[in-house]
C-alpha cells in the first residue's frame, strides 16, 4: 500500500473514531446522563487500537480536551466574555460539505 493511502486510511480512521466517541458522549450529555469519559475511552481505545495503535489515544485525548473545555465553560458561564453568547458541546470532524474531515 502506498504511503498516501496509508496516511489517508489513518486519517479516515481517526476522524471516524473522534466522531463515534463524540456521538456517544453527546447522547449522554443531551439525555442528561453523566458523561462517562473513562468508559467511552476504554471502549473506543480497544475498538481502534489495532487500526490506529497509539494514535487512538491521541484522538481520544483530543476529544477529552474538547469535552473538558465545554464543562469548564459551563461551570464558569457567568465569567465568560460578553461576546460569548452560546456554549455548545463539541461538534463532529467534518468539512463544509458534511463529509468527515480527514485531517484536523
pLDDT of residue 33: 79
Domain ranges of the chain: 3-79
pLDDT of residue 38: 85
Backbone angles phi, psi at 31, to 5 degrees: -90, 10
Over residues 43-102, the pLDDT tens digits come to 999 999 999 999 999 999 999 999 998 888 888 777 766 666 777 889 998 776 766 666
CA distance 95 to 104: 10
pLDDT of residue 104: 47
Of residues 87 and 31, the one with the higher pLDDT is: 31
Over residues 81-97, the pLDDT tens digits come to 666 677 788 999 877 67
The residue ranges of DSSP E strands in 1-104, in sequence order, are: none
The structure's pTM equals: 0.82
Amino acid at each position: 500500500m502506498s504511503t498516501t493511502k496509508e496516511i489517508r486510511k489513518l486519517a479516515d480512521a481517526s476522524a471516524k473514531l473522534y466522531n463515534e466517541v463524540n456521538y456517544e458522549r453527546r447522547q449522554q450529555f443531551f439525555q442528561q446522563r453523566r458523561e462517562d469519559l473513562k468508559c467511552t475511552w476504554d471502549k473506543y481505545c480497544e475498538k481502534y487500537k489495532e487500526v490506529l495503535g497509539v494514535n487512538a489515544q491521541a484522538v481520544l485525548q483530543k476529544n477529552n480536551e474538547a469535552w473538558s473545555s465545554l464543562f469548564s465553560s459551563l461551570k464558569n458561564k457567568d465569567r465568560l466574555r460578553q461576546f460569548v453568547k452560546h456554549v455548545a458541546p463539541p461538534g463532529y470532524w467534518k468539512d463544509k460539505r458534511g463529509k468527515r474531515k480527514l485531517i484536523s
